[in-house]
Amino acid sequence: MRLRSVVVADFRNVRSVRIEPGERFNLLYGLNGQGKTNLLEAIHLLGSPRSFRTARLPELVRHGEQRAQILGRVESGSVHSTLRLVVEAAGRKVEIDGKAVHKASDLHGKLNSVVFSPDDTGMVRMGPESRRRYLDRAVYMGDIGYLHSWHSYQRILKQRNHLLKNSDRTGLDIWTERLAETGAEVIERRLAFVALLDGKLQKYYAAIAGVSETTRLSYAPDGVLSTERNRIRDDLLELFKRHQKSDERYGTTSAGPHRDDLTLELNDRPLKAFGSQGQQKSYVLALKMAEMDNLKEIFGEAPLLLLDDMSSELDARRNHNLMEFLTTREIQVFITTTERSPALLAAAPHCAVFRVEDGNLTFEGS
Ligand code: ATP
Ligand code: MG
């Protein structure tokens, strides 16, 4: 997949910028607070249902303006398309080749990008919720059906919790069964995804770290022992029944896929407790590489890679390994840094260089 050109207007601190990215490597450099991450955010947002930084649309619109616009020309295989996104406080509108689209599924896969930003390592250190958010988003990227299962589950969960709070609990059993049914769909898809990713993780971690450390990513849904949908459903039903008395007391569903967690391990120990900052970052980067690989297998085209604040935390050797590795892949990469790093430019052949200053962009050659 290639982004051939992108126009960003009234998006955050960007008034009007046009980028014609290089085929492979693109460096956006500039001092803090100039708009580098904003530009990556715009590129990512063009192809995805929400920003990787915020769920609040008004934040995206340049102060004092009514709407932000992003327009991009995308090449995928031999297909060219034009995507247009308009963001207003009230909502977002998407057009593909001049035609309005209303369903998330119409945009799905049109412009895939995997983002790696310093915030992503927070997923290692923070609570289960941040890992679930990562998981749900990552599964959805390659599996449009997941969004449907996930929304159904959330809707039914709300209903069941509502009943649990009532004194009249007529119909609780039916909602519990439905919850187990959709919960099984969610879990089945998550399990398949995590198994795929775990199978790829080791290779990418080794490529970045340059040392042999063992990685493991696993997902053990609470109360579930099977990987087959009908049996997952039975296990979930058991789980819900087991918690029913206390759920009735507290008025909420206390166990299930909405409470599950991912386990990240390095050398058979929890990454959170025993991984250094650099090891945690390498691990999450390797996860993103595995995700890219997975998307390439699904869509037949590698997604864009957006590496925000590339040089922070990794040592020179790991940075070098990462660049070496990326040069062997047919992907379009956007990297942001605070300096025009000679080491990075030496490692990235034909890198297009852009300076970002106060929301403006200057092309400095490639
Ligand atoms: P760093 O190197 O610190 O990560 P950066 O170049 O990535 O910096 P960005 O996060 O892209 O910086 O841009 C931050 C700037 O954008 C801030 O100065 C912020 O005030 C401004 N900004 C954010 N949202 C808006 C908005 N809606 N309207 C105007 N300016 C905004
Ligand atoms: Mg930034």
DSSP string, 18-50: EE---SSEEEEE-STTSSHHHHHHHHHHHHSSS
Tokens of 75: 């090449």
End-to-end, the C-alpha distance of the chain in Å comes to 20
Its pTM stands at 0.94
Query: Residue with the nearest Cα to atom 23 of ligand 1?
Result: 12
- Predicted confidence at residue 343, as pLDDT, reads 87
Domains of the chain are 1-112+303-366 (3.40.50.300), 121-291 (1.20.1050.90)
Query: Residue with the nearest Cα to atom 10 of ligand 1?
Result: 37
Helices (H), 70-171: 104-107, 122-125, 128-142, 144-165
Question: From the CB of 280, is ligand 1 less than 6 Å away?
Answer: no
Measure the CA–CA gap between 335 and 107, rounded to whole angstroms.
Answer: 24
- Predicted confidence at residue 222, as pLDDT, reads 97
Work out the percent of the chain whose per-residue pLDDT is above 90: 89
- Predicted confidence at residue 313, as pLDDT, reads 72
- Predicted confidence at residue 311, as pLDDT, reads 74
Question: From the CB of 2, is ligand 1 less than 6 Å away?
Answer: no
Atom number of ligand 1 nearest to Cα 30: 6
Residue 218 Cα, ligand 2 centroid: separation in angstroms?
31
pLDDT tens for 58-96 read 999 999 999 999 999 999 988 999 999 999 999 999 999
- Predicted confidence at residue 160, as pLDDT, reads 97
Could you give the count of Cα atoms lying within 13 Å of 307 in the half-sphere of its Cβ? 28
Residue 95 Cα, ligand 1 centroid: separation in angstroms?
26
Tokens of 355: 């300076």
Question: From the CB of 51, is ligand 1 less than 6 Å away?
Answer: no
Taking 50 as the pLDDT cut, the residues of the chain under it are: none
- Predicted confidence at residue 316, as pLDDT, reads 85
pLDDT tens for 113-130 read 999 998 899 999 999 999
- Predicted confidence at residue 211, as pLDDT, reads 87
Does residue 365 come out as left (phi exceeding 0), alpha (psi in the -120 to 50 range) or beta?
Answer: left
